[in-house]
Amino acid sequence: MRNFIAFIKRFRVFLFFALLQGITFSIYFSYLQFPKYQYLTSASLFSGNILKLRNNLTKHFYLNYNNSILQKENIALMDSIPSSFIKLDNGLVKINDTIFNYQYEYTPAIIINSTHNKRNNYFTLNVGSKQNIEPGMGVFSSNGVVGVIHNCSEHFSVVKSCLTKDINIDVMIEETGDFGLLKWDGEDSKYGTLWGISNDSKVKKGSKIITRGGGKIFPRGIIVGRVSKTQLVEGKPLWDISVKFSENYKSLQRVYIIKNLLKKEQEKLESDTPVNNPK
């Protein structure tokens, strides 16, 4: 710690200059039209490296916070291991590796740039196609769902977060099994909306909202949030359900990217299934 303080004192002028530069670039990139023509400028190599440098200069001031987050992530990762497998054999006599088939794999990443107060908000991550990241992959944290990969460059990727207009993540009420889509109205970054639940269903305040697992992006069971309040939709037999997000998107720093290894197999099977049965 003394060496670190001595380092800061010795290079304080340079570090202060670098910090100001980082803030300047951050303000500049934040006010760009974002995204533009379906390509996000923060995924470029140049701006990505600037954001990564800024993150490296400031991360030492949050060591205690980051260590706490890492502990939670380790627990979350261990808890998620069973959901990474799909069971192939219903036998209960013997358990070994041959009765499970690996379905999901995870890649850790750090957020180096983000927004949370716009109508559509995005996160920039420090991993890209070089780490086998592709558009359409799910992103989550130790506290819950974060969003979906929108675009990638070789070393960086951009996440369309839950705080966007058309996120539409497949979710369900854990207690009842009723399912619908997660949406965001663009107002409060702490709350989303669960849409598509019939008002015939009994929805309790505090009910846990989790991923349904049917959208080929997330496995079933990753928490999204909890029911905050409900009200009837005028003229429709539906509930308008407010969901308080389990993740605080303003302070989020570390995430996991999830890849469904059986996604193509499921898509092929579903594409071969006729939508309408002939009479």
Mean pLDDT over 82-101 rounds to: 44
Which residues make Cβ contacts (< 8 Å) with residue 140, sequence separation at least 6?
146, 218, 222, 255, 256, 258
Say whether the peptide bond before residue 35 is cis (omega within 30 degrees of 0): yes
| pLDDT confidence bin for 67, thresholds 50/70/90 | low
Beta bridge partners of 139: 147, 257
Q: What top-level class would CATH report for the domain 2-164+251-260?
A: mainly beta
Is the pLDDT at 120 greater than 80, yes or no?
A: yes
Give the 3-state secondary structure of residue 144: coil
169-245 matches 2-164+251-260 in CATH topology: yes
| pLDDT confidence bin for 277, thresholds 50/70/90 | low
Domain boundaries, the chain: 2-164+251-260, 169-245
Cβ-contact 192, 225 below 8 angstroms: yes
Mean pLDDT over 194-215 rounds to: 92
CA distance 218 to 83: 10
Query: In angstroms, how far apart are the furthest CA atoms of the chain?
Result: 81
Cβ-contact 43, 151 below 8 angstroms: yes
pTM for this entry: 0.67
Span 1-45, pLDDT tens digits: 666 667 666 767 776 777 777 777 666 555 554 444 444 545 566
Q: Which fold has domain 169-245?
A: Thrombin, subunit H (2.40.10)
Percent of the chain with pLDDT over 70: 66
Mean pLDDT over 159-173 rounds to: 93
